[in-house]
Amino acid sequence: MQYFEVEQRGPIQIWKINNPPMNYMTGPLSRELVGLIGKLEGDDATRVLIITGAVEGKFITHYSVDELAASAADPAECAQVMPRFFAASHRTLNRLMLLPQAVIAAINGDCMGGGYELALACDFRIAADGPYQIGLIEILLGLLPGGGGTQRLTRLIGRGAALEALLFGTAYSPAEAGRLGMVNRVVPPDQLMPTALEWAQTLAQRPPRSIAAIKRAVYLGADRDLETGLYVERNEMAGVIISEDARTLMGAYNAAVAKDPQAARSEFLRGIGLPPTKGR
């Protein structure tokens, strides 16, 4: 791999983005990302993915403006090529979003434009505190976020806050991004990877079929009308309730209740004493 360092820690896979000095997103980097996503889609042994930057102070600064400007140099050709280019970008980030694994963006530096759009396609965003910037700043270049940012940010923080961020092109500090809900947590820099790994270790113990089903119900149902969302939910429930993991866990819980209902409530439901999940 040229642009990603891949590390496997048991059921947790870590992708470190490495395109120094600025860690720009580029066409070749995006194509490598597609290949990694394809491998992970069929990887039953990996239960959680963490994505972070390998360059100090950079998650992904933003998409290469050199590439975008070169594409726009011939307006007629650009009008033909760009819709296909951004359709491919949307497909890539949709595939990342719908991976059956839980996906954590561990933001360790500048995360703007296409970099933040990638983070938006992850399930969780944990940011290290520090003197760097997070945001969708494309309007400052006469553009708009073309990798799904207008849609995902609006769904994450609401229309009013998203329009403020998008139309002003504000680059936020991690603390400001945290207050707006653009990231889930802001932690001290030395706690970024320990926190991401702690989350990942907990998620890796959850039934993987339930993780995948919950993600589909949220991403494919929650932004539609209520009845459509409920349709998605009940079909996902019909699939997971008959899984081996669900039947094992429900049986173990009922056995704990029969033994000591108070202990079942205070321990089992906090994850203590759960049988290991098998993904079946």
Q: What is the 3-state secondary structure (H, E, C) of the chain?
A: CCCEEEEEECCEEEEEECCCCCCCECHHHHHHHHHHHHHHHCCCCCCEEEEEECECEEEECCECHHHHHHHHCCHHHHHHHHHHHHHHHHHHHHHHHCCCCEEEEEECEEEECHHHHHHHCCCEEEEECCCCCEECCHHHHCCCCCCCHHHHHHHHHCHHHHHHHHHHCCCECHHHHHHHCCCCEEECHHHHHHHHHHHHHHHHHCCHHHHHHHHHHHHHHCCCCHHHHHHHHHHHHHHHCCCHHHHHHHHHHHHHHHHCHHHHHHCHHHCCCCCCCCCC
**Both structure tokens of 180:** 């707006």
Smallest CA-to-CA distance from 28 within 3, 55, 53 is with 3
- Whether residue 117 lies in the annotated active site: yes
Is 138 among the catalytic positions? Answer: yes
Q: Which among 32, 41, 117, 244 is annotated as catalytic?
A: 117
Catalytic residues: 117, 138
